[in-house]
Amino acid sequence: MRPGTPGPLIRGLATFVAFVALLAAVRGAAAQSLAVPPNGIVCTTSADDSFALTATDGYISLPDGNSVYMWSFASGTGPFQHPGPVICVDQGDTVTITLSNTLSQPVSLIFPGQSDVLANGVPSQPQFSGATLTSLAPAAPTGGSVTYQFVANEPGTYLYESGTNPGVQVQMGLFGAIVVRPAGHPDWVYADASTAFDPAHEYLMLLSEIDPYLHMALERGQSYDMGQYRPRYFLINGRSFPDTIAPNGAAWLPDQPYGALAHIYPYDPVTNPLPALVRYVGVGSADFPFHPHGNHSRVVGRDGRPLRGDGGEDLSYEKFSLPIGPGQTWDVTFSWHDAENFSPSNPIPVTVPNQQNLFAGAYWSGSPYLGGTGTLPVGGEGYNQCGEYYHVAHNHALTQITSWGLTMSGMMTYTRIDPPEPNSCP
């Protein structure tokens, strides 16, 4: 602990208290089939696969107390949100996306990984003014709109982002994710049984960064020298830790609706045989070497294609560090196995020191055992609820788990592992 950095703890406490409250509320309201689960991917779907995105501006909240001006895509006439809606469709769907632009610059949309994209009914092409490239796709002028259309032929995870002045506009926040599910198999990542996952445990990690001077300049209508670009904030799903572990739709983050807490159970061949799925999307200017603690991830797809050779070879692989590059998407499955089955009757071969001889972490249960609890220091955070385990998942370019001076923040979240059910977890 260092002097001058109490922010995350206080913020984390608020986050967690609200998290518990919301979790309880969600459980209570389950009968009313709440659309947004407390964690996990939040899909925006459409019966006719038509979506409306509105380029607009607003502010997001960061854990050092700052508020940063952003451009982003709202869902139709909905409120400003960052990032844009997560568009989920099925393989083979004809997807129609109408972009309306309320910003002061023309804005367009590109769909990396999709083929034969139409803009207002004709092939979407780079735009030139004379010999000058002006946009990667037809753009909507201020107050105008463009309708894009493509057939989602290939399952996987994709990005949509502005193709106009993209160095500025994407950094300003004009991006979002697209998920294409294989036809008939919402529980597979690709049209391939080896990519099966548990749909109840599907997560999106949209990794981005912010240079606050760029955002300040655009807020003030000033120019900005991109040669001076230097990101200071590092986000998952538009939030910086500890906000990343707050639930989806947290009331105190009204414009940042997407959480990034992964919530799983230990692998069990009978009751929990399928892994979780994590869809990583890189929106930054360099690799984000993402390192989830607890277990390796199995990379089953990249950029919307399964890792299969032309001869059907299984090219998937396991890694403990996932270098998510600019514009890349990585589909990985993840599970945690209770390898040693430690319990009070199968104790760890270590004498745990008296609590006065240790520092207890905010999410520590007081017990080494899954589902166990123990004495915690009086006055500590004590966020643990039912002896669940937590494993951090974070960017290992460790300068990027900071928020412009605030340490232990930034591109970081947790995997929560609950004891097998039935358990005493709320």
Partner 1 sequence: MDQRLTRRGFLRLGLGAAAGGAGILLAPHTRDRLARRAEAASVLAQGASLRYHLAGTDGWISLPSASSSTYHPDGLAPAGLSTYMFGFADVTGLDAAQIQAMKNKCQAPAPLMYFDEGQGALVRLTNLGLAQRPDLTDAHTIHWHGFRNVIPMFDGEPSSSVSVPIGRSLDYYYRPREPGTYMFHCHVEDTEHVHMGMTGIVFVRPAQNGGAPGIPPGRYVFNDGVPPGDPRSTAYDREFAVLLTEVWNEAHWDDAHIQLPEWSDYRPDFFLLNGRVYPDTILPHGTPPGRPDLAYQPYSSLIRANAGERVLLRFANLGFLKQTMVLDGIRLRVVGKDAVLLRGRDGSDLSYQTSTISIGPGESVDAIFVAPEVVSGEATYLLYNRNLVGLSNNGEPGLGGQLTEVRIAPAGTLPPQSAPNQ
Query: Could you tell me if 69 and 57 are in contact, meaning their C-beta atoms sit under 8 angstroms apart?
Result: yes
Give the one residue of 21, 216, 226, 352 binding partner 1; rule: CB under 8 A: 352
- The whole-angstrom distance between residue 403's C-alpha and the CA centroid of its chain comes to 17
Q: Which of 190/364 has CB closer to partner 1?
A: 364
- Least spacing, CB of residue 373 vs partner 1, in Å: 13
Q: b/e per residue, 390-405, with b = 16+ CB within 10 A?
A: bbbbbbebeebbbbbe
Write out the binding residues for partner 1, residues 1-20 only, by CB under 8 A: 1-2, 4
Give SS3 for 421: coil
Q: Which is nearer to partner 1, 73 or 414 (CB)?
A: 414
Question: Can you tell me which of 132, 357, 422, 426 binds partner 1, judged by CB under 8 A?
Answer: 357
Closest CA to 218 of 165, 153, 162: 165
3-state secondary structure of 207: strand
CB atoms closer than 10 angstroms to residue 65: 10
Residues 280 and 131: their CA atoms lie apart, in Å, by 37
Q: Residue 319 interacts with partner 1 (CB under 8 A)?
A: yes
Q: Does residue number 339 form part of the binding site for partner 1 (CB under 8 A)?
A: yes
Residue closer to partner 1, measured from CB, 162 or 333? 333
Among 362, 386, 420, 423, which residue interacts with partner 1 (rule: CB under 8 A)?
A: 362
Question: x-or-dash pattern for partner 1, window 249-288, by CB under 8 A?
Answer: -------------------------------------xx-
| Nearest by Cα to 401 from 177, 231, 195, 271 | 231
Q: Is residue 216 part of the contact set for partner 1 (CB under 8 A)?
A: no
For residue 32, state whether it binds partner 1 (rule: CB under 8 A): no
Tell me which stretch binds partner 1 (CB under 8 A): 52-60, 92-100, 184-192, 358-366.
358-366
- Residues numbered 50 to 79 that lie near partner 1 (CB under 8 A) are none
Residue whose C-alpha is closest to residue 290's, from 203, 214, 227, 363: 203
Q: CB of residue 202 vs partner 1: minimum separation in angstroms?
A: 21
Residues in contact with partner 1, shown as a per-residue x/- string from 191 to 210 under the rule CB under 8 A:
---x----------------
CA distance readout (Å), 400 to 61, 274, 285, 289, 393: 17, 32, 12, 10, 13
When asked if residue 368 is in the footprint of partner 1 (CB under 8 A), the reply is yes
- The residue from 396, 420, 423, 425 that contacts partner 1 (CB under 8 A) is 396
Cβ 38 vs Cβ 259: under 8 Å: yes
Nearer to partner 1, 5 or 134 (CB): 5
Nearest-Å Rg of the Cα atoms of the chain is 22
Q: How far apart are CA 355 and CA 396, in angstroms?
A: 30
Name the one range near partner 1 by CB under 8 A: 24-32, 87-95, 218-226, 341-349: 341-349
- By CB under 8 A, tell whether 392 contacts partner 1: yes
Q: Report the distance separating Cα 98 and Cα 140, nearest Å.
A: 10
Strand partners, 333: 277, 298
How would you classify the pairing of strands 322-324 and 94-101? unpaired
Q: Does 301 bind partner 1 (CB under 8 A)?
A: no
Contacting positions for partner 1 (CB under 8 A): 1-2, 4, 194, 230-232, 286-287, 289, 291, 293-296, 309, 313-321, 323, 336-340, 342, 348-353, 357-364, 368, 370, 389-392, 394, 396-402, 404-405, 407-408, 414
